[in-house]
Amino acid sequence: MTEMTEIADMETIPGESNNQLALTTPEAQPIKRRKKKSMVWEYFTIENVSAGCRRAYCKRCKQSFAYSTGSKVAGTSHLKRHIAKGTCRALLRGQGQDNNQFITPYNPKMGGSEPPKRRYRSPSSPFIPFDQDRCRHEIARMIIMHEYPLHIVEHPGFIAFVQSLQPQFDKMSFNTVQGDCVATYLREKQSLMKFIEGIPGRFCLTLDMWSSNQTLGYVFITGHFVDSDWKLHRQVFNVVMEPYPDSHSALSHAIAACLSDWSLEGKLFSLTFNHPLSEAGLENLRPLLCVKNPLILNGQLLIRNCIARTMSSMAKDVLGAGQEIIKKIRDSVKYVKMSESHDDKFIQVKNQLQVPSEKSLFRDNQTRWNTTYQMLAAASELKEVFDCLDTYDPDYKLAPSMEDWKLAETLCSFLKPLFDAASILTTTTLPTVITFFYEVWKIHVDLGRSITSEDPFISNLAKSMQEKIDKYWKDCSLVLAMAVVMDPRFKMKLVEFSFTKIYSEDAPTYIKTVDDGIHELFLEYVALPLPLTPTYAEEVNGANNGKTNESHYGNLLSDHGLTDFDVYIMETNSQQMKSELDQYLEESLLPRVQEFDVVGWWKLNKMKYPTLSKMARDILSIPVSAAAPESIFDITDKQLDEYRSSLRPETVEALICAKDWLHFGSSDVSNALVKMEF
């Protein structure tokens, strides 16, 4: 460094004026010194030791260094080295207590191949002190959110990487990071529990049983509910390990643990699951529901069929029936996509033939049926290109025949309605049971038409699929219909229309079952004392505006005063005038639009229908699928991977639940827009 450079690096020392810093030689001209911002002066002070001689003293160890003699300035590089290289013993001793250091010494025992380069804070960048606890917290969040193995903190590559960023960071063990992940889970759980305490309605649960390589079962329990602002939520509540997943008590034990854990006893409205269960197992579940009459809607508040799994099973029938042609098309697509030159030739032929399709070829994932459908659909639109590809590429000899393409289009015609319906379940907005009443009914009707086809392939495939959709419809149609009644655009009219199409002369019997079930369920809500219902309490609190004046009238209207009087009013009113439900059913239908916020409509009309709106809120939160959105199209059963199966059940639950809460806690909220096309 030249002398002029060293002079430019001199700093304005606190407590000294610019005149004192000026060079004192007769030849030197007065210079206006700018204030420097080097961080080195956080560690050093300048003292005059003799005439024309000044030295820099370390604030920590009091060691002195040359700074200036006469007009010669030593600069600050050697001062920085004193701090950066870790030669200041006092600084080393104070590392754990002093948060003001700007660089740390290299420790070869902590990992890494060579010392890190010195890094100095630029004048424009803020100084951020190192925080070991915060780093541990962020590593735990990273592991949870991205499903990294807990042992990653002990991997040499990870240790070297972290030490290159911050040599001060202490190595973490498996046990340490496991504890940090569980601590993160407990913090998030506490926050969610506070939120759930304020939920005014009931809760619906879905159960998804996962297997493991240790023959253990893991029950994923997810809660569905509407909050006080009338927004739908979906949150994973528990992951319960069941040592005997095929036992009669496996699901009931897991649900009881969940209800106790979240203080939801008496608030469980419905259960949706897709695990084979005996009658004894079902009888263990029924007492857990808050609806006292188990015969309401033929007991369909226990939904034994998950619509996602039903549609995946139907899709497997389609793929199995066309496995030979699917293999031919898969091989053709593989040939095109296996090399860039093949792909270029394919695009060249497509452009020359002017094929209008905008779809692109891709290889399917055989564990997810939607990718196979999309592969077939794209290839079918590009069949002309495959037919002519051998003229441009003599090595291509896999072109399907016209009969093959015709069969592929037939397969697509069966898969498309399933794909469109299942895709609704993958959207961020939570679908309601209203949507799937129409979707399932439409699939049922389409298959009924296909059965009458003269083509034996189509007829036989349709029969196989209809057996499964018939079972789902038989087990779930009443609870789906109940949700449709809660939509002011349809009410009982869509139920009557749909049932007539399916049941013909037997339709009145099924329609009456829905009507009776709705009225019986409404009576259960009516039986709740009005002052004790959450909605009523909120409205009363809002009307009082927080006033606590306990006058004579306040005591008279308290919960302890006229509860029996409210019951009397309801009983006499029910005899003298129409109920809220009958009044709602007799009113005209709202105009049918494709997008309609049905939950929002009930929010706006809760004063008009104080009891019925609470029932609608609970009904509209019933989920139709127990599968997670990312698993909707899976063909194979879900299995916990080998690594997580080796962890403690408590740790598995913490990792899975915390990931859901961190990722979707604030974003998984729906405005319940129900899209239906006719």
Q: Is residue 451 part of a domain?
A: no
Confidence of residue 542 (pLDDT cuts 50, 70, 90): very low
The mean per-residue pLDDT over the stretch 159-166 comes to 90
- φ, ψ for residue 224, nearest 5 deg: -125, 130
Is the confidence at residue 665, as pLDDT, over 60?
Answer: no
For residue 579, pLDDT over 50 is answered with: yes
Q: What is the pLDDT of residue 43?
A: 81
Question: What's the rounded Cα separation, in Å, for the pair 477 and 212?
Answer: 33
Instruction: Based on the fold, state whether residues 340 and 295 are members of the same structural domain.
Output: no
In this structure, the answer to whether residues 327 and 248 fall within a common structural domain is no
Q: Are 142 and 148 in contact (CB under 8 A)?
A: yes
CA distance 461 to 463: 5
* Contact between residue 206 and residue 272 where contact means Cβ atoms under 8 Å apart: yes
Rounded CA gap, 184 and 204, in Å?
Answer: 26
Q: Say if residue 549's pLDDT is above 50.
A: no
Which residues are CB-contacts of 396 (< 8 A; sequence separation ≥ 6)?
Answer: 332, 335, 342, 389, 390
Most confident of 141-150, 302-311, 524-533: 141-150
Kindly tell me if the per-residue pLDDT of 349 is higher than 70: yes
- Give the DSSP H or E segment for 314: helix 307-321
Q: Are 262 and 286 in contact (CB under 8 A)?
A: no
Say whether both 201 and 284 belong to one domain. Answer: yes
Percent of the chain predicted with pLDDT > 70? 77
Would you state the pLDDT for residue 596?
85
HEC string for 1-35: CCHHHHHHCCCCCCCCCHHHHCCCCCCCCCCCCCC
Q: Tell me which of 506-515, 526-535, 600-609 is least confident.
A: 526-535
C-alpha dist (Å) from residue 89 to 58, 72, 85, 96, 486: 11, 29, 11, 13, 75
Q: Quick one: pLDDT at residue 606?
A: 93
* pLDDT score recorded for residue 6: 40
Q: What is the mean pLDDT of residues 217-234?
A: 93
Structure tokens at 312: 């995946």
Is residue 311 located within the same domain as residue 355?
Answer: yes
Domain assignment present for residue 165? The answer is: no
Is the pLDDT assigned to residue 485 strictly greater than 90?
Answer: yes
- The angle formed by the CA atoms of residues 501, 502 and 505, to the nearest 5 degrees, is 80
* DSSP characters over 264-277: -TT-EEEEEE-S--
- pTM (predicted TM-score): 0.73
> Given pLDDT bands bounded at 50, 70 and 90, which one contains residue 577?
low
- Do residues 562 and 556 make contact, with C-beta atoms less than 8 angstroms apart? yes
Q: How far is Cα 7 from Cα 603, in angstroms, rounded to an integer?
A: 73
pLDDT tier for residue 69 given thresholds of 50, 70 and 90: confident
Q: What string of DSSP letters covers 646-665? A: TS-HHHHHHHHHHHHHHHHT
Looking at residue 108, its pLDDT comes to: 46
User: Could you report the per-residue pLDDT of 15-61, keeping only the tens digit for each?
Assistant: 444 444 444 444 444 444 555 556 677 788 888 888 888 888 888 78
Task: Kindly tell me if the per-residue pLDDT of 675 is higher than 50.
Answer: no
Range of the domain at 52: 40-74
215 has a pLDDT exceeding 60: yes
Residue closest to 232 by CA, chosen among 417, 437, 435, 517 = 435
Does the residue 333 lie in any domain? yes
Poorest-confidence range of 45-54, 181-190, 258-267, 491-500? 45-54
Q: Which of 377, 401, 432 is the last residue of a domain?
A: 432
Pairing of strands 595-597, 217-226: unpaired
Q: In angstroms, rounded to a whole number, what is the distance separating the alpha carbons of residues 351 and 339?
A: 19
Q: Categorize the per-residue pLDDT at 373 as very low, low, confident or very high, splitting at 50, 70 and 90.
A: very high
Q: Which residues pair with 639 in a beta bridge?
A: 211
Same domain flag for 268 and 193: yes
12: confidence class by pLDDT, cuts 50, 70, 90: very low
Residues 101, 128: Cα–Cα separation, whole Å: 10
* pLDDT greater than 90 at residue 647: yes
Tokens of 283: 């009888």
Same domain, 293 and 312: no
**What Cα–Cα distance (Å) separates residue 342 from each residue in 43, 280, 371, 495?**
66, 59, 22, 54
Tens digit of each residue's pLDDT (9 = 90 or more) over 377-405 = 999 999 999 998 888 888 888 889 999 99
How many CA atoms lie within 13 Å of 200's alpha carbon, on the beta-carbon side? 21
254: burial class by Cβ within 10 Å (0-12, 13-18, 19+)?
Answer: buried
**276 backbone dihedrals φ, ψ, rounded to 5°:** -55, 130
Same domain, 243 and 331: no
117 pLDDT above the threshold of 60: no
- Residue 492 clears pLDDT 60, i.e. is over it: yes
**Residue with the larger pLDDT of the pair 278 and 345:** 345
Is 240 domain-assigned? yes
- 240 and 276 in a single domain? The answer is yes
Burial of 128 from C-beta contacts in 10 A (0-12 / 13-18 / 19+): exposed
pLDDT tens digits, one per residue of 583-638: 999 999 999 887 788 999 999 999 999 999 999 999 999 998 888 888 999 998 89
Helix 456-485 vs helix 433-451: crossing angle, to nearest 10? 150
pLDDT score for 193: 94
Of residues 429 and 471, which shows the higher confidence score? 471
292 and 405 both lie in a single domain = no
492: exposed, middle or buried (C-beta count within 10 Å: 0-12, 13-18, 19+)? middle
pLDDT for 329 equals 94
In a domain, 646, yes or no: yes
Those residues with Cβ within 8 angstroms of residue 435's Cβ, 6 or more apart along the chain or in another chain: 424, 674, 675, 676
Which of 532 and 345 is assigned the larger pLDDT? 345
Structural domains of the chain, count: 3
| Long-range Cβ pairs for the range 319-323 (8 Å, 24+) | 319/369, 319/372, 319/411, 321/411, 321/457, 321/460, 321/461, 321/464, 322/407, 322/408, 322/410, 322/411
pLDDT at residue 499, as a whole number: 92
Residues 330 and 424 in one domain: yes
Last residue of a domain, one of 74, 97, 126: 74
Tokens 């899709």 sit on residue: 315
Does a structural domain hold residue 171?
Answer: no
Task: Outline where DSSP puts E strands in 137-267.
Answer: 203-210, 217-226, 232-242
Residue that terminates a domain, selected from 372, 403, 432: 432
- The confidence score (pLDDT) of residue 535 equals 44
| Residue 296 near residue 520, CB atoms below 8 Å | yes
Task: Encode 456-489 in three state secondary structure.
Answer: HHHHHHHHHHHHHHHHHHHHHHHHHHHHHHCCCC
Q: Has residue 526 got a pLDDT over 50?
A: yes
Q: Is the pLDDT of residue 569 over 80?
A: no
372: its two tokens: 């196979």
Residues 321 and 419 in one domain: yes
Whether residue 277 is found in the same domain as residue 319: no
298-346 pLDDT, tens digit per residue, is 667 777 788 999 999 999 999 999 999 999 999 999 999 998 989 889 9
Q: What is d(CA 482, CA 502) in angstroms, rounded to the nearest whole number?
A: 17
Burial (CB count <10 Å: 0-12, 13-18, 19+), residue 190: exposed
Per the model's pLDDT, the better-predicted residue between 299 and 62 turns out to be 62
Predicted local distance difference test score (pLDDT) of residue 572: 64
Give domain status of residue 35, yes or no. Answer: no
Backbone angle region of 473, left / alpha / beta, with phi > 0 → left and psi within -120 to 50 → alpha: alpha
Residue 89 lies in a domain: no
CB 517 within 8 A of CB 482: yes
Is 3:72 a contact under the CB 8 Å cutoff? yes
Mean pLDDT of the chain: 81
d(CA 573, CA 232): 33
